[in-house]
Amino acid sequence: KNNKNKLILKITIAIQTLYLIVIFLSGILPNIYVAFWISAGLNILSLFLNFANIFSKGNFKFLLLLITIFEILLTLFIFLLPEAGVPAPVKLF
């Protein structure tokens, strides 16, 4: 079971690193919706992995959960909130 928890931690860290790469490359991508949906998918996947690992005896489980929640809030702030009269980059409705 300990190896399973370590694997989940490594996958979660890899997903969070990939999320940061997508966020930094979102200005280069021709379609902002692609960057948004990739970011949202990575956030959801990371959140599910953190909830799967929350009852283990790992050292970094709450830190990774906190980072994932921060990434979700960052995604909402970057893509969905308008700023100073400028409309939001992604319009869902």
Q: CA 78, CA 60: separation in Å to the nearest integer?
A: 26
Apex 88 CA angle, 83 and 90, nearest 5? 155
Residue 93 domain flag: no
- Look at the chain and report how many structural domains it folds into: 1
| pLDDT, tens digit, 9 for 90 and up, residues 32-59 | 888 889 999 999 999 998 888 887 776 7
| pLDDT, tens digit, 9 for 90 and up, residues 52-93 | 888 777 677 788 889 999 999 999 888 888 877 778 777 777
Q: Taking 70 as the threshold, does the pLDDT of residue 2 lie above it?
A: yes
Residue 75 domain flag: yes
Residue 90 domain flag: no
Domain interval for residue 63: 2-79
Residue 84 domain flag: no
Residue 92 domain flag: no
Provide the whole-model pTM: 0.83
pLDDT of residue 55: 76
